[in-house]
Structure 1
Amino acid sequence: MTPNPETLPEHMPLAQAATVMAGHDRKRMPVVGPGGVLVGMVSRYDLLKTVAESMRQHPDESIQLPEGAPSTIADLMLITSASVPTNAPVVAVLNALMLSPLRRVVVLDDNQVVQGIITDGDVLRRASRRMQPNALGRLVAWLSVSKAPPAIQVEGYERMASEIMSCPAITIRSDAPVTEGVRLMMAHKIKALPVVNASGAFVGMVNRAGLLAALSSPNNF
């Protein structure tokens, strides 16, 4: 467990909570009442869902971004993100996952067009189906500690990225407004989006943390 975790008082305005969570890069935080008694949890999803619902109910009202905040997806996307070709073996996918801060790997064709996306969950659900039971335990350990056990390289290498990816992947244009990223993530209940340029080529990733940081204005909550 995490000793003495940072908490949010239950009466803290949502905009301030969003700022705190973005500043500490927290996916979720405990909410406490008088005397520090735990009353619940708030997550990035909860806060972004609030913004998305406001956009749905008031489509003619524009979202106000803090001064100097990113206004388009290109302004806040992660440039360095893991990708593999469709014929990449599972071992290459796993190595790419270990290097990805988002624990996601984008699968690309020869023209750098997004064909699908792979998470560590996809690997556990799909790549492990042909493995012996003891191999699954080693695979989980690998994903937990980022250290590859040699046995898995033998047992799982025959499967390719195209066999275990989730497709089609939901993507977003780099010139799209930040609010479009919020809408897509909430509508499809996903944590990250591959970003593509005007030609459809993969150029980066955007996640909930980036969107929440961009939207941390009192007028949006």
Structure 2
Amino acid sequence: MLFEHWIYSTGLAIIAGMVYYRATGRDLMWLIIASAYAPDADMFADQVLSGIGISLLVNGSPISHGDFHNIAIMLIYAGCVALSLHPLGFRLADSFLFAGAGFAAHLLEDALVAAPAYAFLWPLSSSRFGIGMFSYSPDFYGIADREVLLAGVVFLELIFIMRTMYEGRGWVGRSISSAMRPLLFLSRPLVSYLYEERQNS
């Protein structure tokens, strides 16, 4: 699955954001969407690490696709994201939960499509699991399966309509505003640098 992860994870993010906002008054649904492809970092991790002189083996072999698709990497990823976002004013628990949810959404989506998929429970178990609801074939420009993509688009539209009916359209702007916080924080050094350069010129 390539393009479908973004569609399905956005739908799940809308649901999670709605429930969490009702319970806590906070909504980091954007973090689920941003984490939707995190497990697929194993596709290029070996090349990146080798490029900087690090050789990392998983079960005696170089990192390959599927090696990051498990709960151990999910917990490490969620912890790193939570610690990274904490200086920006995000609560550790919120960031950990939503980053982990985005990662887990990817694993769930893979499990629904493939049978078997990956060893999701590693290191607790090396057994590969999957449901295999679809006979997956990337027949939509090589980036998606038409059937899986269509089901995802319908799912996303229904969830979007449901939340809008429940909360009104305000949730969209609130979610965008929350997502802009880390971007604005990270852009400050660049803005300051450009301002100083202009003052000195």
Query: Structure 2-normalised TM-score?
Result: 0.22
Q: Relative to total residues, which structure has the larger helix share, 1 or 2?
A: 2
Q: Relative to total residues, which structure has the larger strand share, 1 or 2?
A: 1
Query: Structure 1-normalised TM-score?
Result: 0.21
